[in-house]
Structure 1
Amino acid sequence: MWNKIADIIIKFRLYLIILLLAITAFMAYQGQYVRWSYVLANVVPDNDPDMVDFKEFKKIFGEDGNILALGILDSAVYKTDNFRKLGYMSNELLNIKGVNEVLSVPTLKKLVKDQEAKRFKLEPVFDSFPSDQKKLDSLIRYALDIKFYSGQLINPNNGASVVLVTIDKALMDSDDRNRVVSDILFVTEAFTEDTGIQLRYAGLPYVRYINTSKLKDELRMFLVLSVIVTGFILFLFFRSFKVLLVALGIIGMVVLWVVGTLVLFDFEITLLTGLLPPIIVVIGIPNTVYMINKYHQEYFAHGDQMRAIRTIIRKIGIVTFITNVTTAVGFLVLALTDIVILKEFGIVAGINILATFVVSMIMIPSVFSYLKPPGQRHLKHLEFKMLNSVLSVLDLLVHRYKEYVFVITIIIAAICIYGISQIQAVSYMVDDLPDESQTKKDLAFFEEHFAGVMPLEIVIDTKRKKGVQNLSNLRKIDEFETFLDSIDFVSKPISVVSFIKATRQAFYNDKSAYYSLPNNRDKNFILRYLKEETDNINLATKFVDSTGQKIRVSLKMADIGSVKMDSLVNQVIEPRIDDIFGTTEFDVAITGTTLLFIKGNKFLIDNLITSMIIAFVIIAFIMGLLFRNFKMIIICLIPNIIPLLITGGMMGLAGIPLKPSTALIFSIAFGISVDDSIHFLAKYRQELFANNFFVPVAVSKSIRETGASMIYTSIILFFGFVIFAASEFGGTVALGTLTSTTLLMAMLTNLTLLPALLLRFDSGKRNKEDHPLIEQYPEFYDENEDEEIDLDLLDKEEKNKD
């Protein structure tokens, strides 16, 4: 089959090049329509009870994650001039298109009892900004006595305050969100420059804006870095600008195909799919290394350029196809999950890894057929003395000290299994940002002074229309809110109960001692005022549904992580709900963006672990088809499982948590690392037949003749993935460092443990009449495939050419 493919590629190479260039041009044209994702990915299935509750909450009460918070801890803000500027800033923010509401100390409103109309009305606390400092101080003390705002907008202990900017929920999942946040920052930065007062920023709109901005910058940086790093290593290896340009040209084509694929499938650029262009660069280069290396060997073995080009298609085609398939499997299994972002990532990656094989198989032979044959200096990589010394040491090691290899492997595996047992699955809302980032520091400010800004919602269904008007119901909710307020990392709750307490304080002329629910004596008077409430006061309607049956209790909390969050909900809040509401018909649901995000990460990790198991099974099945020998399948898989154990052990011992970014590593790395085993075992089986089934010689020749390519490709993969450690996103850093480490360990195990296992457990006996799939391609390897290159003869050829 591969003979025919070689004939077709050589015969129609010009037309095939034109076809690939036309496809690339089409993909580049489609690429201009690629879209960035502005949606906070929901990975929890729609039929999950928590997701059902959250969707119902949003349907009734709207978005809970559309508030951008500005924090201030500077007494200078309470000086008349600065306070007036803070008020001006609040008004400017309100004038921004897409901003629905701005709540700050200068814009505070108070409930005022209108005795004539028997109703409450809202009036500004600061109807004008006083120029007299004493008057301003008096009004600020008055504002501090309004209990409704205490702990929400103002910290009564140190005067820290916040400005809450509510963004139109319709803009939260669109590009306009970034425009609104950018406009907000323009106004707030002008305030800081004018007054010298530092502002702290938090809230999901701001975090998502920062993440998107950094993501765009980093993707460009990683694409450039991946090209520079892999290109530099390629040049060191081949010492040829022609090779470098051809390799990078091929990878550039596939990168354009990646972007075009996103558009054709109507996918958007997410945190995952955005990593694909640099990943494709890194993964695609090994194809080039193997094929060009073989081209050089063949040409200088016989000096016939076209024969050498035809040979690399015949001999490298099948193994390159198999290794690309196993790599693609590591990604494509992600498409089997129920999570959209993983599906998209897996589909686009898998398709384009296979496309990399097709483009490489056509472009490398075709382009080099039009170029001059390689010269002597291009063969330097074939006689790298240091590399040959390393391979000699490895050969000696596995023959004389294989028992030590087994013992060390067992010890390392045992330590790593213990380390794996120490791994905790922990994720945070702002998990990806480094601790030293300004965003993390700002978040810490809000957690210290206002218990955090992460939204948590509780919906209480009284099961009766107008159940909110029942004072006994309100008292139970008040008891529950008092409990919630006692939790250190949870803010003071806001609900209709808070509003009714505020009305009682207003009814008694703003005396803070009266901030409580009405008693049996005054409830009729206060409720009479509330019934006359006009549309000017809409605070209560934000926390009660239209029937008066469902009540929203809104909280803000610290980013405590998935483990503490799970403990808080299931071991603290839920039992208290049962204690307070157990004797009622109430239905209490805990929901909100924070809860769904934490649960989503757990769901994501579970799916990634399942994907890794599926990838393991599929690749084992492929090994079975190739070698049709159970012992060989086990021997092949063990050296690729050990690196995964080492990575898991490092995570556990170093305290690196299991989260989506780290769970993703295992299936990807396994799919890539098994390629080395395929190359080694294919060569090993050929050497068995060439050396009368004598295992030691077959192992030695396999180490020396495949080891160089394995080391070079592993170096490229290592440095290609390690560039992601330069990211500001913790998940990307973990993906880069742990994947590169895993692949490096896989190279070592495939050059030591794999041959040691063959020497110990493979007798070398084969049925010459029964050939597995890998041996049904006699052109895959032959006895003269890797014959030594006579450099003296090469010198003579070069002189003759001169």
Structure 2
Amino acid sequence: MNALKKAGNATNAFAKRWAQFVIRFKWPVLLSTLILALGMGSKGAMEFDGDYHVFFSESNPELEAFDALQEKYTKDDNVIIVLSPSNGDIFTKENLIAIEELTAEAWNTPYSSRVDAVTNFQHTSAQGDDLYVDDLSYESASKTNQEIALIKEKALKEPLLVNRLLNESGSVTAINVTVRLPGEDSAKEIPEVTTFIRKTVADFQEKHPDFAVHSSGLVPLNTAFFESAMRDLMLTMIMLVIVIITTLVLTRNFFSTLATFVVVMFSIMSAIGFVGIMGIKLTPPSSVFPTMILTLAVADSIHILITMLQKMRKDRYTKKDALLESMRLNFMPVFITSLTTVIGFLTMNFGDVPPFWDLGNITAFGMTMAFLYSTTALPALMAILPVRVKARKEEKEKKLSWYTNLGLFVAKQPARLTIISMVVIGGLTFLATKNQFNDEFINYFDETVKFRSDTDYISENLTGIYNVEFSVGSGESGGINNPTYLKKLNEFEDWLNEQPEVIHVNAFSEVARRVNRSMHGDEESYYRVPNNREEAAQYLLLYELSLPFGLDLNNQINVDKSETRVTVTIENISSAEMITFSKRAERWLQSNTPQEMHAIGVSPTLMFSKLGFRQADSMFKGNIIALLLISLVLMLALRNFKLGLLSIIPNVTPVLVGFGFWAMYKAQINTGMVIVFGMTLGIIVDDTVHFMSKFLRARRELGYDARSAVIYAFETVGKALVTTTIVLLAGFAVLSTSSFALNSYMARITVIIIVAALVIDFILLPSLLILISKKSESIESVKELKPQMQLDK
């Protein structure tokens, strides 16, 4: 006990000496921090990376499998331009001419390698023993009405067109532009493609105003990621204004607000320098770091400033004495909360999503610097500025504050409040288990984002955006012409088409059937895969030689013709359903085909579907480590094993309560929400630490019993906790308006958790502190508590 007391005295002595040093050398300290902040800021460089690949670590198995598939065939980053004529019929001369013009212009897209449209679809036909492969509709301006009617008839019967580039009624069509991005500089390549496509579409609509145009694909997805990052970065300016106003209203002191602004700006400048020094490229999740740091850095300053102003207003301290006392009381709690926040954000490195690693590391560094500036630049600046406050007039009959009354209320009935709190928390924890994981990347964006609205339109009117791909091997070079392989591939295609979620299947077996039919005079009885290997090989060679440049089969067949690519387009289904479908297809191949034909499903869609589950599994370990580390920090800092252990309850339960309320609100969790436990654990410790530190001060320094100490804690730190909570709520409320769901959902549930943390720290925590205190202590009645509150004044 003596050792603990000595440790506490040493801590107080250090904090006091530190404050005296800063105040004495206020100008050198302020100038040093200014030079540090400017020096760090000068190293800053914010580059953005909108490529969806950034969401996956290099060791991600789904990414490895997808990259391996693209190496076998061709990279298929794409832009799909969907056209809807106002007359509801694609097959008129004017509309086909317009589509033909846009298709020709689409070939000029930077890095384009292929353009697929209804007009240039390679239609096969036979004349005697000759195979003809032509554009379905070329030189549309010269076509007669009868020829156009025949083109429509052929198109609506073509399996490779319907539900892929053409809807079943022929009222909506698509032009699919495949691009091969070099991958050297996505920040340059993606905007280059996007700029060209947008200009092309704008020119097309100006010339053909009777067409509605929508676009989607992987390039627009990357663009949406990039633009979301830019928009979320702009939220920082809104947040800065809100924080300034909120701080001014709550502290009622202009110079306090100015000092807070300086700390925040220094912290953000240092974090930007860290981004530049580490060479981090910003992404939608990591681009919100200024808002995070801004929001969290304010909390450090608020505690120091509120205590200082209280001492000046209530206790008539001089500015210097008030500042010294505030630093003595708050140095260790601010250090602890900063440390726990840093630990919480660093746990993001345990996850499997690199952008969240960056967010965690940048914010952790920013919070480290925020602590430094809060304990140097802030007191130095407050010592320099002419801070004046109006001392409160003595009242004959002192009116108890709201915080004192709340403390009295809790002190009267700790057992009852504990039971009620535990019942409510238990119920909400049960509800939290009802949340389901769903990580559809389309839903990463809200309806205000053009990519989302266009993609929804395309899904409803033409085809699905989600797909799963299989590279089905034959086991030998040239084996795709083996009749046994073709028959099994055909069976797989048929099975896929029977699945309820499947919209379209693009498989080589369909090409083999179509060419076989054409080589037999277009007789429908021959619309099947060839029975003879030599025939199949000859037909394939003849067909490939007839295809024009850019429309070959390299996107479907690998170089040595040992494997083919099966692309399954499916409806917009949930992550769990997507994974289930992929596993079902893999099991069918394992059960119905030879070993060499077994394949796994891959695609960006599937990668995103599995990402959240992978993130959750990897973050579980990180969250446990964070909980243990933070609990250990609190035990050491509070110098009390029992209270350190107790702190786990108010630190963990707000997260459970938050997810319980979320189950009633959305009941769906995405990847961005998986990090919430570790992130908020560090944040909500702030309330617990400050309340417990004031409770312990009352017990150790002032000799109060547990109930009196609880009321003292309410009086001395209650306003600061409410103030910091309001600032945190403002920050995350602004972030919750983001159009990017990974950020907005994370912010929304964080708002719920922060409110829950304050309520729990005001109701459950003080109740538990009273209940676990030694019963042998002399406990004053609540009626006698009121005058005791004046002892420390």
Same fold (TM over 0.5): yes
Question: For each residue in 1:518-560, what CA deviation from the matched residue of structure 2 results, as whole angstroms up to 9, or x when unmatched?
Answer: 245xx75564343354384563332222222122112222231
Of 696, 700, 713, the residue aligned with 1:702 is: 713
- State the distance in 1 between where 2:522 and 2:164 align: 18
- The code of the aligned residue for 2:326 comes to I
- The code of the aligned residue for 2:50 comes to Y
Question: For each residue in 1:5-53, what CA deviation from the matched residue of structure 2 results, as whole angstroms up to 9, or x when unmatched?
Answer: 234323433233223222322333333x321012214555555654443
Aligned to 1:415: 427
Task: Report the CA distance between 1:278 and its aligned residue.
Answer: 0.8
- State the distance in 2 between where 1:422 and 1:230 align: 35
Aligned to 1:530: 540
Aligned to 1:757: 768
Equivalent pair of 1:426/1:562 in contact (CA under 8 Å): yes
Of 161, 164, 187, the residue aligned with 2:173 is: 161
Aligned to 1:330: 344
Equivalent pair of 1:73/1:161 in contact (CA under 8 Å): no
Aligned to 1:217: 231
Question: For each residue in 1:563-602, what CA deviation from the matched residue of structure 2 results, as whole angstroms up to 9, or x when unmatched?
Answer: 11122122x3133212321x45433222122222211221
Of 355, 373, 376, the residue aligned with 2:390 is: 376
Equivalent pair of 1:119/1:530 in contact (CA under 8 Å): no
Of 151, 172, 176, the residue aligned with 2:189 is: 176
Equivalent pair of 1:38/1:173 in contact (CA under 8 Å): yes
Greater mean alpha carbon deviation, residues 200-209 or residues 710-719: 200-209
Please say if 1:598 is aligned against 2:598: no
Please say if 1:305 is aligned against 2:316: no
Task: Report the CA distance between 1:135 and its aligned residue.
Answer: 3.6
Aligned to 2:753: 742
Equivalent pair of 2:232/2:288 in contact (CA under 8 Å): no
Question: For each residue in 1:480-539, what CA deviation from the matched residue of structure 2 results, as whole angstroms up to 9, or x when unmatched?
Answer: 01111222332332232222223224324556664432245xx75564343354384563
- State the distance in 2 between where 1:113 and 1:217 align: 56
* 3-state SS in 1 of match to 2:634: helix
Aligned to 1:403: 415
Aligned to 1:648: 659
Equivalent pair of 1:43/1:601 in contact (CA under 8 Å): no
Equivalent pair of 2:122/2:547 in contact (CA under 8 Å): no
Aligned to 1:791: none
Greater mean alpha carbon deviation, residues 434-443 or residues 8-17: 434-443
Question: For each residue in 1:107-142, what CA deviation from the matched residue of structure 2 results, as whole angstroms up to 9, or x when unmatched?
Answer: 3333355879x6665456323423644443333333
- State the distance in 2 between where 1:678 and 1:765 align: 26
- State the distance in 2 between where 1:690 and 1:398 align: 22
Question: For each residue in 1:579-627, what CA deviation from the matched residue of structure 2 results, as whole angstroms up to 9, or x when unmatched?
Answer: 321x454332221222222112211122233322221111111112123
TM-score by length of structure 1 reads: 0.88
Compared CA separation, residues 210 and 342, structure 1 to 2 (3 A): closer
* 3-state SS in 2 of match to 1:590: coil
- State the distance in 2 between where 1:94 and 1:17 align: 60
Greater mean alpha carbon deviation, residues 147-156 or residues 339-348: 147-156
- State the distance in 1 between where 2:25 and 2:716 align: 32
Question: For each residue in 1:745-790, what CA deviation from the matched residue of structure 2 results, as whole angstroms up to 9, or x when unmatched?
Answer: 1111111211111111112889xxxxxxxxxxxxxxxx999954xx
Where does 1:69-468 land on structure 2 (aligned, <5 Å)? 69-72=81-84, 74=86, 75-111=88-124, 121-123=133-135, 125-130=137-142, 132-170=144-182, 173-193=186-206, 194-220=208-234, 222-299=235-312, 301=315, 303-376=317-390, 389-434=401-446, 439-468=451-480
* 3-state SS in 1 of match to 2:599: strand
* 3-state SS in 1 of match to 2:727: helix
- State the distance in 1 between where 2:118 and 2:75 align: 24
Equivalent pair of 1:693/1:764 in contact (CA under 8 Å): no
Of 459, 484, 503, the residue aligned with 1:491 is: 503
* 3-state SS in 2 of match to 1:106: coil
Of 617, 627, 636, the residue aligned with 1:616 is: 627
- State the distance in 2 between where 1:110 and 1:277 align: 55
Compared CA separation, residues 348 and 316, structure 1 to 2 (3 A): same
Equivalent pair of 2:128/2:521 in contact (CA under 8 Å): no
Compared CA separation, residues 73 and 786, structure 1 to 2 (3 A): farther
Of 671, 675, 679, the residue aligned with 1:660 is: 671
Unaligned residue ranges in structure 2 (runs of 5+): 1-13, 778-787
- State the distance in 2 between where 1:586 and 1:105 align: 32
Equivalent pair of 1:331/1:667 in contact (CA under 8 Å): yes
- State the distance in 2 between where 1:679 and 1:754 align: 12
Compared CA separation, residues 658 and 143, structure 1 to 2 (3 A): closer
Compared CA separation, residues 531 and 336, structure 1 to 2 (3 A): closer
Task: Report the CA distance between 1:363 and its aligned residue.
Answer: 1.2
* 3-state SS in 2 of match to 1:162: strand
- State the distance in 2 between where 1:711 and 1:764 align: 31
Task: Report the CA distance between 1:82 and its aligned residue.
Answer: 3.1
Aligned to 1:507: 519
Where does 1:518-597 land on structure 2 (aligned, <5 Å)? 518-520=530-532, 527-532=537-542, 533-534=544-545, 536=547, 539-570=552-583, 572-581=584-593, 583-597=594-608
Compared CA separation, residues 352 and 529, structure 1 to 2 (3 A): same
Aligned to 1:794: none
Task: Report the CA distance between 1:373 and its aligned residue.
Answer: 2.9
TM-score by length of structure 2 reads: 0.89
Percent of counterpart pairs with the same letter? 18
Equivalent pair of 1:684/1:699 in contact (CA under 8 Å): yes
Equivalent pair of 1:67/1:203 in contact (CA under 8 Å): yes
- State the distance in 1 between where 2:565 and 2:137 align: 26
- The code of the aligned residue for 1:200 comes to H
- State the distance in 2 between where 1:355 and 1:130 align: 72
- State the distance in 2 between where 1:57 and 1:612 align: 35
Question: For each residue in 1:686-710, what CA deviation from the matched residue of structure 2 results, as whole angstroms up to 9, or x when unmatched?
Answer: 1113443522222211111111111
Equivalent pair of 1:262/1:348 in contact (CA under 8 Å): yes
Of 700, 721, 726, the residue aligned with 1:715 is: 726
- State the distance in 2 between where 1:496 and 1:548 align: 11
* 3-state SS in 1 of match to 2:647: helix
- State the distance in 1 between where 2:360 and 2:201 align: 41
Compared CA separation, residues 683 and 150, structure 1 to 2 (3 A): closer
Equivalent pair of 2:284/2:740 in contact (CA under 8 Å): no
* 3-state SS in 2 of match to 1:66: strand
- The code of the aligned residue for 1:26 comes to G
Compared CA separation, residues 18 and 230, structure 1 to 2 (3 A): same
- State the distance in 2 between where 1:188 and 1:510 align: 38
Aligned to 1:775: none
- The code of the aligned residue for 1:366 comes to A
Compared CA separation, residues 388 and 129, structure 1 to 2 (3 A): farther
- State the distance in 2 between where 1:149 and 1:560 align: 22
- State the distance in 2 between where 1:24 and 1:691 align: 40
- State the distance in 2 between where 1:510 and 1:218 align: 57
* 3-state SS in 1 of match to 2:663: helix
- State the distance in 1 between where 2:215 and 2:60 align: 33
Task: Report the CA distance between 1:145 and its aligned residue.
Answer: 4.1
